[in-house]
Amino acid sequence: MTSFKIGLTLGDPGGIGPELILRLLSKPSDLPPAKFVIYGQHALLDFWRKKLNLQPGWIDLILSREQVSLKEAGQPLETVTVGQSTAENGLASFSFFEAAVKSARQGETQALVTAPISKTAWVKAGLPYKGHTDYLEKFYPEAIMSFWSDRLRVALFTHHLPLREAINKVKKESLIKFFQNLVQALREAGVEIKEILVCGLNPHAGEDGTIGQEEQLEIIPALAELKRNSLQVIGPYPPDTVFLEGLDRPERLIVSLYHDQGLIAFKLLSFERGVNLTLGLPFIRTSPDHGTAFDLAGRGLASPASLKQAIWLAWEFGQKRD
Same-domain check for residues 215 and 168: yes
pLDDT of residue 322: 64
Same-domain check for residues 270 and 286: no
Same-domain check for residues 174 and 232: yes
Same-domain check for residues 5 and 136: yes
Tens-place pLDDT, residues 153-192: 999 999 999 999 999 999 999 999 999 999 999 999 999 8
Residues listed for the chain: 322
CA 107 – CA 273 distance, rounded (Å): 28
Tens-place pLDDT, residues 2-35: 789 999 999 999 999 999 999 999 888 899 999 9
Same-domain check for residues 122 and 163: no
Same-domain check for residues 149 and 136: no
pLDDT of residue 8: 98
Same-domain check for residues 80 and 184: no
pLDDT of residue 228: 87
Detail the DSSP E strand segments found in the chain: 5-9, 35-40, 68-72, 111-114, 144-148, 153-156, 195-199, 233-237, 252-256, 275-279, 284-288
Same-domain check for residues 168 and 216: yes
- What element of type H or E holds 63? helix 58-63
Asked which of 240, 258, 276 is the last residue of a domain, the reply is 276
Same-domain check for residues 271 and 161: yes
Helix axes 305-321, 172-189, angle to 10 degrees: 80
Domain at 192, CATH number: 3.40.718.10
94 is in which domain, residue-wise? 1-140+281-322
pLDDT of residue 61: 87
pLDDT of residue 272: 83
Same-domain check for residues 65 and 103: yes
Per-residue confidence of the chain (322 residues) as pLDDT tens digits?
478 999 999 999 999 999 999 999 988 889 999 999 999 999 999 999 999 888 888 898 899 888 999 999 999 998 999 999 999 999 999 999 999 999 999 999 999 999 999 999 999 999 999 899 999 999 999 999 999 999 999 999 999 999 999 999 999 999 999 999 999 999 999 998 999 999 999 999 999 999 999 999 999 999 999 998 878 899 999 999 999 999 999 999 999 999 999 999 999 999 888 999 999 999 999 999 899 999 999 898 999 999 999 999 999 999 887 6
Task: Give how far Cα 164 sits from Cα of 145, 161, 171, Å.
Answer: 19, 8, 14
pTM reported for the whole predicted model: 0.93
Task: Give how far Cα 182 sits from Cα of 157, 185, 285, Å.
Answer: 10, 5, 16
Same-domain check for residues 71 and 100: yes
Same-domain check for residues 90 and 214: no
When divided into structural domains, the chain yields a total of 2
